[in-house]
Structures are given as C-alpha cells and as structure tokens.
Amino acid sequence: MASVRPIEPPTDSRTRAAARSRIVLVLLTVLGGGLGARPALAVPAVIPLPATIVSGAGEFRLAATTPLVAAPGDGAGLAAARALAAELATSRGAAPPVRAGAARDAAIVFEVRAGLGAEGYALEVTPARVTVAATTAAGAFYGATTLAELIPAGRGPVRLAAVRIADAPRFAWRGLMLDSARHYESPRFIRRLIDAMAAMKLNVLHWHLTDDQAWRLEIRRYPRLTQVGAFRVPAGRGARADIDARTGEPRLYGGYYTQKTVRALVAYAALRHVLIVPEIEMPGHASAAIAAYPALGTVALNAVPADWGVYEHVFNLSEPTCRFLENVLEEVAALFPGPYVHVGGDEVATHEWQASPPAVARARELGLAGVEQLPHYLVGRMARVLAAHGKRLVGWDEILAPDLDRGALVQSWRGRDGARAAASQGNDTVLAPWPTLYLDFRQSRADDEPPGRVKTSTLADVYGFEPLPPGLAAPAAVHVVGLQANVWTEHMRTEARIAHAIFPRAAALAEVGWTPAASRDYAGFLARLAALWPRYRRLGLPFADSAFAVRLDASPGDDPGAARVHLATESGAGQIRYTLDGTTPTAQSPRFTGPLTLASGTVLVAASYADGELLGAPRRYTVEAVPESRTSQALELCSEALPLALEIDAARGAPRPVVLLDLMNPCWLWRGVDLSGAPELTASIGPVPFNYQLGADGTKIRVGDARTASGELEVRLDGCEGEILASLPLAAASPLGLSRLAARLPARGGHHDLCLRFARPTLDPMWALERVALRQ
C-alpha cells in the first residue's frame, strides 16, 4: 500500500473556534445495539448513563437568579448545592444563589430522602421546580453532578426538559490509579484530575507513591526517604551529560509530596467524594527506600535507579526492617483518613533472599517453609498493623493465599483469575487487569499517539470490559466490589501525556462501573461523549480524540501517479469532512462517502463532525501513490516480543522524536519495495537509552554481532537472514538526537522486502530507526 505521512493538525482560527464551540444539551434517540429490540428512550447527554430515565411533560425555566435551596441543617444538601453553584459559575459565568430554607417552586431544591443508598439519588425536573433527593452526602453530590450535565454551558436562560432520573452505581469502587513514583505530578494536576473524576462519578484515586525509581511521600520519622529517595539521575546519554554548572554534578530529577500537601489533597478530594488510597510498595519495588536507608535491603544500594522494569531488590524483612515498615504505615494511616492502605505485594523476586544467609535464617526463625513465604508473612503482619489503626490492607493479586486476612482487598491485575480466586475465598476484589484497563497502553497505532506501550487498549476495549468474571457463583460475586484503570507513567514524562492517556477512556470506565450492564450501549456512549469535551477544556486537561481521528489508508490507483484513498475513524462515529487545498475542513466541507482517487502529492485534511460539532481534530496527510519514505511506526516490526514507542535521546530541551521498536530486537521490515533501479537509501536514526531491568530476558537480546567497534545498520534483502545490500556504519552517528545515514543499494529486479536491523556491540545505546526513504 502507498504510505502517508501524518502532519501536525492545523491550528488556524477556524479550528480554534470549533474547539471552543459550546455543546448544548440534546436529546438523543439511542437504541440498545446488540441488546435486543427495546423502546427508544430520550437520553440526555450524561456520562455515566443513569440507571433509569423517564421523560416528562413540559420544561423548567432556569435563570441566573434561580436559587439552590436546602433545608436548614442539611449540611449534605448545602454542600451539594455549593458544588453545583461552583460548576455553573465556571460553565455559565455566574454562580446562582445558595440558600438554606424551605422547599419552594421556581428553585432547585435539595432534600434528604431515605432508602436511596450510599451513593444513589433521585433527580426530578418539572415545570415547577427541580428536586435532587438523596440519603447521603455522596448521593446529593452525584445528583448535583448529573444536573450540571443537563445544564448547557453559556449565558442566558435555559429550558430544561422535564425528566425523572433514579440512579445508583453498579459498583462501589470506581477507580483510577495514578503512578507518581516513575514521574512526579504536580498537586495542581492532581486536583484537576480529581475534578474530572468527580464529574464522571469515579470515586477512588489509588495513588502509587513509592517504587524502585522514587519515594514520593514525606515520612517525618525517616527524612532520607524523600531527601534521597525522591530524586534520581535520569536515564539516557543526554541526561547524563546534563551537568548543573553550579555544582558540577548531574541534574537530579524528582520531587515529593509534603504531609501538608497530602492533607490538602485528601481534603480537596473528600469534598468531591473521591477517596485517596495510598500505595506503599513492599517487599519488592523497594530500591528507592533501600538507597535512602541501605540497611533495609538484602543488598545495599547507594543511588536511586532510573531503569524501568522489575528489580530484584527487596527489603530484607529483618525485625528492624519490619518495624520500619510498621512505623511508615502508622504515619500513612494518620495522613489518609480513608479505610484503605495499599501495600503493593506484586512482582517480588526472591533471588536476593535465596542468596542471603540472614534471609534464609529469618524464614526458618519464622517457621516458614522457605524464603518464598516471606511476602505472605509480611502481608499478614501489615494487615494486623493496619487493622489496629482501623484500616483494611489492599494488595495486588500476588498477595493471595489461603490464610490471607479476610478483611484484605485484592486487586486483580494479571487477568480475572485473581479476582475469581479472591472472591471465592471471601476476600473483596477489584478488577484492574492488563492490558484492557492499563491506560499506558496506546489508544491506536497511529503516528501521532504519544510514547508508550504499543499494544492498544482502545476506547471501545475499555467500554466493552465486563468486571464480573464469568462463571462466578452468586455468593462470591458480591465480593467483586468494582474496577479500576491503572496509569503507569514510565513512558509519560509530561502531565499532558498522562491526561491524554486517561481521557476519555476514563469516561468509558466510569460508565462500566456505574451503569447497569444491560443499559450500556457503545453507540449511545459515543453520541454522549462529545458533551465532555468543553468540560475537559475548562479543566485544562488535554484529551485523546483517537476514537474520532480520521485515518487515511492509500493504495496504488489504476493510473500511474494516482492513489486510491480511504478515510475512516476507529469508532465510526460522526461524519468525515475533508479538503484538498490544505485548508481546515468545516462541518460544511465535502463529506467522505467512498474511496477517492488522488494524485500523488495531494494534501488532504480531514476531521470528523457530529451535528456540526468537531469530534476529532483535523489531521493533515500528504498522499503518496508510491511510497518513498516510511516512519518506523509505519513499518512492520520484525518481531513484537516487547514493542514500545519510545523517544530518541536528546539534549535538555531538544525535541525528542518518537520511534517504534521491539526492545528485544530493533529490526524493521519494509514490504514490497521496488528495487528495479539502484535507489539511494537514507535512514534517520537515533539512540534510545537502554534503561530496562529485564532479568533473564535481557540475555535474549541480540548483541555482539557488530562488524565494527560502533556497530552498523544492516539492510538485507527478502528477510533478516538474506543478502546484505548495505551496511551503514554507526561510528559517525550522534549520541544525541537524530543522525542521517545513506547508501546506494544495488539493483535487484522487481519488488522485494527490505529488512533493516542494527548490529551492535553493546545494549546501550539502543539504536532506533526513525524514518527510512528511497530515491531512484
């Protein structure tokens, strides 16, 4: 097929105006796709979809002066009214008055009503008044949240269609996990994340605060945990060359959260009914803590590492180390008033313990069968410590054991089996399985996705996830308390990329966790989703439009120099509008209805629209009838043992191009290349720092096959064991940024596959192909 080259979406005034456009409330007729025939419902643009919606007669006229009223002494109602007023101040430019008083007409009334559940509410819009009823403060808040979604942004009076909504969540735990250990996120970003979670009725922020690469939480009894453990020298040649001129030492990367900051964030979240669950990893993922206090380790460390992956470093679990962990959890329990503390417990390597006579003796002293049982001993001990402070222990599914404290909650990340086993033995469990609910997996294979794991988890994948493991008996099913998406940040160095990974997939997660399974409908969800775009923008949260982005696929046309072009979106939602003169398409531009025949070199710009509103930002493509160049992301990987989209190493502040490679085998295939002449091949390459802990897998990476001291890029014919057409030395390649290599290939009649692979003397740096081109 002919290749295309995505170009940055244009940002002219018309695009910005479309992005700022207000999405007003519309009533959408949604049919239950795949669920059997059922009556059409008038569904307001609300996410997550409420449990029941019944349309009424007439409308309520809302003005800027319409009061929000709760009974005197109804603290929950008044708090929900203030939250609604604050949201309307942002979306409509003025906060309505909030009053304590008797219920009355021409007002939005908050009232207490028994029997609606811990988070349930009833919302009724009539021509006379709007009523939000709830049993609890959380229910009142969620009723106010739904009402805010019914009220369109913008100034002026609003007519709200009469409706009755009775609503409550399907699951109690509807969570996101934020990894702040690999990359530090600012408190401001975390507050915006909490705001967005609350707007979607997500109620648990699992905060991953410690790991091998950092310890982010201030523990006053052990100040070196943050003085030392919160900072590291970043990986990569560019970073290592980044020396602070004042000190002559490498610049350290990091940061930590003071207890004052944590208390403020916890309070901020509580007002929005988001529970923060802290995670303190043990006994593995402990390198940062051991670097701060080497006596804690089975093997001492003198610096916080910067590699990604699974380390073998573990706490030694001597009695002093166990008391250290108990003391840490005591401070954590005091900082976080919620009922849960997470202790990790995952990916514990036992090699250091097996090689340590003190560890072997410790296991024997505790009456354990071997060092393999030390993690379960620690989990049991920490569960008792936390219980003494009124907390329940949470851990990943590796903590499962027959004698696990029944108060412990198990998060199942390695599929559904952990959840099924935990629920069957009476432990509460939360589904958080990879890859579907791992938001560090990319949302598409498109070139314009940020770095990350190449395996995709699309918006449709997340929406289609079913938390209840199949075949789970009813008595055990009650222990499935919810679901959670995890945001691991190894490859997300900026907050903008984290937001892009989370949104809008978090909206799909919210609907799965809240809405009855029989009511979920992906087409209806997509129709309501664009109503969130203005709210994300108001929060300053970049979001992915991957499901609505127009992608171009081209193949050679019937005439020389022409290409047959097809346009599509992943979701199929909306209408595709396009231009061929380089301008930005509008909702009135030509609509794509079938394949186009275009001359090579044509600039095509396309975007998706629904009801005149922009769904996916415009994408610009240059059509090539015969592919003359390919990015690494447009090439085929020779293998996909550990495929990643990574950034080329660069100097501080320099651009970092994104490349696609298999970490275990940096090798690419370009299929069907015309080698009838003797074309010139040019390759743009760059170094990727090899900062990975792969254990035994690292020995499987092919190195040591270079013919020169620096290595070379091999170009082989018809497979990676075929004839070497060119060998491009790497000696002159720059250790930072991109370098250009070139060679004339010998003529080989007809079309052939080219294999491009790096022969290297060492693992670091790992060279990557950014782009390759052929010119006759």
pLDDT in tens, 168-199: 999 999 999 999 999 999 999 999 999 999 99
Question: Which of the four pLDDT bands, split at 50, 70 and 90, describes residue 238?
Answer: low
- 723 lies in the same domain as 748: yes
Q: What span, in angstroms and rounded, lies between the C-alpha atoms of 757 and 132?
A: 64
In a domain, 147, yes or no: yes
Q: Tell whether pTM > 0.85.
A: yes
Give the pLDDT confidence score for residue 704 in this predicted structure. 87
- 132 lies in the same domain as 192: no
Q: What span, in angstroms and rounded, lies between the C-alpha atoms of 32 and 47?
A: 16
Instruction: With beta carbons less than 8 A apart as the criterion, state whether 118 and 249 touch.
Output: no
In a domain, 474, yes or no: yes
Which of 242, 347, 636, 697 is an active site residue? 347
Q: For residue 41, is pLDDT > 50?
A: no
- 438 lies in the same domain as 564: no
Instruction: With beta carbons less than 8 A apart as the criterion, state whether 641 and 608 touch.
Output: no
Per the annotation, the verdict on 285 as an active-site residue is: yes
- 426 lies in the same domain as 333: yes
pLDDT in tens, 53-65: 999 999 999 999 9
In a domain, 529, yes or no: no
Q: Are strands 712-717 and 340-344 parallel, antiparallel or unpaired?
A: unpaired
- 124 lies in the same domain as 155: yes
Q: What span, in angstroms and rounded, lies between the C-alpha atoms of 465 and 485?
A: 11
The domain total for the chain is 4
Residue 661 carries which DSSP code? E
In a domain, 679, yes or no: yes
- 267 lies in the same domain as 119: no
Q: For residue 597, is pLDDT > 90?
A: yes
Instruction: With beta carbons less than 8 A apart as the criterion, state whether 363 and 379 touch.
Output: no
Per the annotation, the verdict on 179 as an active-site residue is: no
In a domain, 428, yes or no: yes
- 310 lies in the same domain as 192: yes
In a domain, 46, yes or no: no
Q: CB neighbours of 699 closer than 8 A, spacing ≥ 6?
A: none
Q: What span, in angstroms and rounded, lies between the C-alpha atoms of 360 and 365?
A: 9
pLDDT in tens, 278-329: 999 999 999 999 999 999 999 999 999 999 998 999 999 999 999 999 999 9
> Of the segments 23-37, 254-268, 699-713, which one has the largest average pLDDT value?
254-268
Question: Which of the four pLDDT bands, split at 50, 70 and 90, describes residue 240?
Answer: low
Phi/psi at 520 (nearest 5 deg)?
Answer: -70, 140
Which of 183, 285, 479, 500 is an active site residue? 285
Give me the CATH number covering residue 141.
3.30.379.10
What is the mean predicted confidence (pLDDT) over 580-588?
96
Give me the CATH number covering residue 462.
3.20.20.80
Q: What span, in angstroms and rounded, lies between the C-alpha atoms of 757 and 716?
A: 8
Last residue of a domain, one of 465, 498, 518: 518
Give the pLDDT confidence score for residue 249 in this predicted structure. 79
Give me the CATH number covering residue 710.
2.60.120.260
Per the annotation, the verdict on 347 as an active-site residue is: yes
Give the pLDDT confidence score for residue 250 in this predicted structure. 81
- 481 lies in the same domain as 390: yes
Three-state DSSP class for residue 380: helix
Q: What span, in angstroms and rounded, lies between the C-alpha atoms of 85 and 236?
A: 49
The boundaries of the domain holding residue 122 are 52-167
Mean pLDDT of the residues in the chain: 91
Side chain identity at residue 615, one-letter code: L
pLDDT in tens, 515-527: 999 999 999 999 9
- 71 lies in the same domain as 146: yes
Give me the CATH number covering residue 583.
2.60.40
Alpha carbon 649 to its chain's center: 23
- 155 lies in the same domain as 221: no
> Closest Cα to residue 178, out of 432, 473, 533?
432
Q: Which of 48-52, 323-327, 408-412, 676-680 has the lowest mean pLDDT?
A: 676-680
- 666 lies in the same domain as 568: no
Alpha carbon 223 to its chain's center: 31
Which of 167, 185, 211, 511 is an active site residue? 211
In a domain, 590, yes or no: yes
In a domain, 387, yes or no: yes
Instruction: With beta carbons less than 8 A apart as the criterion, state whether 457 and 441 touch.
Output: yes
Last residue of a domain, one of 566, 601, 623: 623
What is the mean predicted confidence (pLDDT) over 235-242?
62
- 442 lies in the same domain as 570: no
* CA triple 652-657-663, angle to 5 deg: 105
